[in-house]
Structure 1
Amino acid sequence: MAWITLLLIASAFWTANSFAAAYGLGRALDDADSLPGRPEVILYTKVPLRDLPAGASGTKLAPSPGSELRYRYQGLRLLVQANNRLFLVPSKWTSPGGRTLVVSYDSTVRLELVPH
């Protein structure tokens, strides 16, 4: 009897895990498909970002009084924001070989959304 209970519990966990994986994959594909309709992100940072994904570009800004933000990045779209982090992808992001840029969302960055 104990073995049957153990088997039923293990089956329930396996089923829940399989469902969660399939649901997560479906949500990820939906998010990727909706990227072209999302606003473009212009990101201003205090420090330079390294290893920009292909399609994104950066510009060093001239110093201006009252602003510590020295770098401007464009050609990005906001994939998701979670736990004070921005997950940004290039405007023309593709899943094979596509990269995601993760930036802490704090006082060292400013974000502008530009309608598409």
Structure 2
Amino acid sequence: MTSSTEATSETSEAEHHPWRRLLAVLGNITALTALLFYFGWRRSEAQADALGLSQSILGQGTQDYLLRSINTLLPAILGIALTGLLWLWADPRITARLYAWSAKTQRRWLLALSLGWIALPAAAFAIGILIPTPATVFFPLSIGTGFLFTAYSAGLRRRLADHHERTWADDVFHVCIAVIVCLTLFWAAANYAQILGKHLAAAVNDNPSQLVPVVVFSEKQLYLTAPGVGVTELPQTSGEPTYRYDGLRLLQHVGDRYFLISDGWSQSVGEMIELKDEDSVRLQFSRLHR
């Protein structure tokens, strides 16, 4: 009877096991999508703010934010992977060296590692006085790395003491470290997204000519008066546009709307123009001459 009950229990668990995996995967996808959306939004907001615009008027959707967040998260994912490989390579070598040292030297090095959560942020803060922009990314990373060093030193102490039994306190400690590391990674990635958005905006403010040139043809007068925009009234021909606008650049395309700036755009002077994709207006794009 007991064996039959155990078999039924194992069968039931096996049946539910794929569903648990599926739920775990869906949960991870949801969390990743939320992160991508946030980082894309943060980058777009910083860029719009640096251009002197409101991010809300650009009307970007979820897909736009997701696409704009990829180049923000790729460096973070690559950095985590490389750090993990480096740790796998260094861990056995560090352990072997510790066993070869005296007890006094071991204590000194373990103490230095355990104080990483103080030493690394302090060093990053000092460097930030000289180079403040990169420090907004390095400072949160230094906090997470410092706590990882602290956790690593605790693990090395257990190895040297031949104490491998884990208690509930060890589990709580590792969970807290994991939460801190995740939060600092999120903090650093958000700051990097903001820096990237400001950098993109600065490139536009300094040199609008790097954007794709646009010529607008319209059947009616659009009254585009941005600095640097020229209008030409074309000969009247049935079914052909009668107005041509030059001196425009494509800032962004979202859905059926085109957001344009003029060649006279600068950080202090400039207007953004929004045009909808409709029959009465035709946009002609030109190649960039580099």
TM norm structure 2: 0.33
| Alignment deviations for residues 38-91 of structure 1 (CA, whole Å, 9 cap, x no partner) | 332111012211241011011222221332x22110011111111211111111
Cα drift, residue 20 of structure 1: 5.8
Report the Cα distance in structure 2 between the residues aligned to 1:32 and 1:80, rounded to whole angstroms: 14
Q: Flag the 1:26–1:38 CA change in 2: closer, same or farther, 3 A.
A: closer
Is residue 246 of structure 2 the alignment partner of residue 113 of structure 1? no
- Is residue 2:200 matched to residue 1:27? yes
RMSD: 3.2
Residues 16, 38 of structure 1: CA spacing in aligned structure 2 closer, same or farther, 3 A cutoff? closer
Which amino acid counterpart does residue 232 of structure 2 have in structure 1? T
Q: CA deviation at 1:21?
A: 5.0
Please say if residues 56 and 73 of structure 1, whose CA atoms lie closer than 8 Å, have aligned partners that are also in contact.
yes
- Residue 99 of structure 1 aligns with which residue? 271
Change (3 A) 1:38 1:51: closer
**Which residue does the alignment assign to 2:218?**
45
Q: Which letter maps to 2:200?
A: R
Residue 85 of structure 1: aligned partner: 257
More displaced, 33-42 or 91-100?
A: 33-42
Distance across 1 between alignment mates of 2:277 and 2:205: 22
Tell me whether 33-42 or 53-62 shows the greater mean CA deviation: 33-42
Identity %: 28
User: Greater share of strand residues, 1 or 2?
Assistant: 1
Shift of 1:27: 3.4
The structure richer in helix per residue is 2
- Cα 1:15–1:38 change in 2 (3 A) is closer
After TM superposition, the score normalised by the length of structure 1 is 0.68
Aligned to 2:242: 70
Decide which structure has the larger Cα Rg and report it: 2
The one of the two structures with greater contact order (alpha-carbon pairs below 8 A, sep at least 6) is 1
Distance 1:50 1:66, change over 3 A: closer
Bigger drift between 72-81 and 85-94 goes to 85-94
Give the deviation of 1:30 after TM superposition.
Answer: 3.8
Structure 1 runs not aligned, ≥5 long: 1-13
**What letter is aligned with 1:26?**
H
Asked whether the 8 Å contact 1:84–1:105 carries over to 2, the reply is yes
SS of alignment partner, residue 54 of structure 1: coil
Give the superposition deviation at 1:110.
0.9
1:47 partner SS: coil
| Structure 2 counterpart SS, 1:41 | strand
Structure 2: any 5+ residue segments left out of the alignment? Answer: 1-186
